[in-house]
Structure 1
């Protein structure tokens, strides 16, 4: 199956899949001043990542089942 997702969205989803990422880390690392570069928002809108509150730890960004499938389909299987 050919994957046609934006390469930056794939990079972002792969980065999130490698380790738990706090919401603050995601915002800091993927911040941009360009209103047309919305990688993190695009990945969330497409259902590849989601925010999840973890008791005592705060808000984290996690890869969804759809995001994991995207990575597998693109040959970017992570751990």
Structure 2
């Protein structure tokens, strides 16, 4: 069953699901100058991804159980 969610949020969550990403990589890759495009913040606010401090790696962004379920519900792959 498909969940009504922004396709870019799905793309972002799928990208993170392939492998946890360093916070700096997320910011660099998904940076935008448009204040209306807050894809990664929207995904975090919805509980699809989380930021965790990992010793030696700094902040890491990873998919949550809710994010994995979102991907499954929408026929997307999970890493």
TM-score by length of 2: 0.95
Gaps of 5+ in 1: none
- Once the two structures are TM-superposed, the CA of residue 4 in structure 1 deviates from its matched residue by 1.0
- Summarize deviations over 1:2-25 as a string: whole Å, max 9, x none: 221100000000000001200000
What does residue 16 of structure 1 align with?
Answer: 16
> Unaligned regions of 5+ residues in structure 2, if any?
none
Q: 1:27 aligns to what?
A: 27
- Runs of 4+ in structure 1 deviating by more than 4 angstroms, as ranges, are none
CA distance in structure 2 between the aligned counterparts of 1:14 and 1:2, rounded to whole angstroms: 15
Kindly report the root-mean-square deviation, in angstroms, between the aligned alpha carbons of the 2 structures: 0.8
Counterpart mapping for 1:1-79 below 5 A: 1-79=1-79
TM-score (norm 1): 0.95
Whole-Å Cα distance in 1 between the matches of residues 9 and 2 of structure 2? Answer: 15
Count of aligned residue pairs for this structure pair: 79
Assess if the C-alpha contact under 8 Å between 2:20 and 2:63 holds in 1. Answer: no
CA distance in 1, matches of 2:2, 2:38: 23
Partners of 1:68 and 1:77 in 2: CA distance:
9
